[in-house]
Amino acid sequence: MDTLSTRVMITGMGIVCSIAQTVQEFVEAIREGRSGITKLPEQYNHSVRIGAWIKDFSWQNWLNKLSDLDPAIHRRACKVLNNTTDSTRLSACGAIQAFQNAHSAGMNKTPDELGIIVAGSNLAQSYTVENWKRFSESGRMNPRYALSFFDSNQVGCLSEILAIRGPGLTIGAAAASSNAALFQAFHWIRCGLVKRCLVVGAAMEFSPMELEAFAILGAASCNQFAGDPDRACRPFDQAHEGFVWGQGSASVMLESAQWRGGLPAIGEISGVSLLLDGNHLPDPSADGEARAMRTALESAKLEPDRIGYINAHGSSSALGDRTECAAIKAVFQESISNIWINSTKSLTGHCFSASGTIELIATILQLNGGFVHPNRNLDNPIDLELKLAGNQAGPLSAQYALTNGFGFGGINSSLVVKGNNA
């Protein structure tokens, strides 16, 4: 078998975010254009006072309500998650969904052939701050802190819950972390290292200090719409003033098509790219972003005119949005008027490490469902040449889509995604 021609299929998906706690809820929420952005809890009452917060979520209740869950997985999850970080708990809920979905077709469970990659770094900042406060005041801390502050602890926790015995690691690339993990998993499968890989976009649990730092940098929305959170996240709108933090985690299962032997899949990752600008600063490069999109298309062996939809990085920052618009126009040129563009962050906020997996799931759901979800708060578009989705859902007839992820430090990534509607 020529492993370099192996097709990489999407066979399972799971998500917990501010607008949904299952994939079924998520597709309904994005079709309706529902926003999860509200005022943050009191402990975040600094410059940044709004975010897409997951309200009233209990991982124990979520597990107990999950239908047809393997009792062994339930037992191990309760044991592992009882004393760990909130980020790990959210990761587990998304990962269990994706794992369970991928087994719905009756695939044999082969733990040695399943890998796992957790996307993100510095995932438990709020947990670290809480333990520092306790330690500075009393000299005490959580006895498991030495284990839990490592991001790799998520790999260990999830591998125990799901009995994964293949390769595993964490990978960090700022806001492009999930796409970097998907890039790595794609190549693991292509080269034959694994037949299946679970990619987990982990939730970044910021403390107030990280949000304040983003405000000082001028990257976070904190002034114009502080009293009206629903209007704050405005990708590609003239009134955008910065990103809105989103809380959430999402996971996808990738599998080799040849190994599946013709069993149906949800979709396919056809091409990938992950490239650097040679720049450590947060200022984006249109040339770098365009290069990433072109490289992904080359990886998929597609011409630009085959793309019918772009799930943009669309962070709602003035410089970021304008740079991405310029990059998209440079790549797609004469076909640009035929490509729908929106940003899922207008609904979920910016979920950082998890944004790539969340937006991959949103892309697949739109391709397969034949719709483009609303791009909320797009009242005055910054670029009238682009086919930007507005405040209402619209029809979509496309076989291929592109989803972008760009991170601080000049990290540019793009994925070509194929739906199962072809």
What secondary structure does DSSP assign to 171-226, as a single string?
E-BTBTHHHHHHHHHHHHHHTTS-SEEEEEE------HHHHHHHHHHT-B--STTT
Residue 276 CA to residue 214 CA, distance in Å, equals 22
CA dihedral for 64, 65, 66, 69, sign (positive or negative): positive
CATH class of 3-260: alpha beta
CA dihedral for 324, 400, 20, 81, sign (positive or negative): negative
Q: Indicate the average pLDDT of the chain.
A: 93
Of the candidates 168, 138, 348, 350, the one whose C-alpha atom is nearest the C-alpha of residue 242 is 350
Residue 330 in this model has a pLDDT that exceeds 60 = yes
- For the chain, give the percent of residues with pLDDT over 70: 96
Residue 136 CA to residue 293 CA, distance in Å, equals 48
Residue 266 CA to residue 219 CA, distance in Å, equals 35
Residue 124 CA to residue 126 CA, distance in Å, equals 6
Residue 385 in this model has a pLDDT that exceeds 50 = yes
Q: What is the pLDDT of residues 99-134, one digit of tens each?
A: 998 975 545 556 678 999 999 999 988 888 888 889
Fold agreement between 3-260 and 271-419: yes
Q: Which fold, 271-419?
A: Peroxisomal Thiolase; Chain A, domain 1 (3.40.47)
φ/ψ of 316, rounded to 5, equals 80, 15
158-186 burial by CB neighbour count: b if 16+ within 10 A, else e?
bbebbebebebebbbbbbbbbbbbbbbbb
DSSP 41: P
List the domain boundaries for the chain. 3-260, 271-419
Amino acid at 163: A
Please give the model's pTM, rounded to 2 decimal places: 0.96
- The pLDDT confidence band at residue 359, using thresholds 50, 70 and 90, is very high
* Whole-number pLDDT of residue 109: 56
* Whole-number pLDDT of residue 85: 94
- If you search the block for the tokens 């993990």, which residue do you land on? 181
DSSP 291: H
Q: What is the pLDDT of residues 7-44, one digit of tens each?
A: 999 999 999 999 999 999 999 999 999 999 999 887 77
Residue 222 in this model has a pLDDT that exceeds 70 = yes
More confident residue, 219 or 1: 219
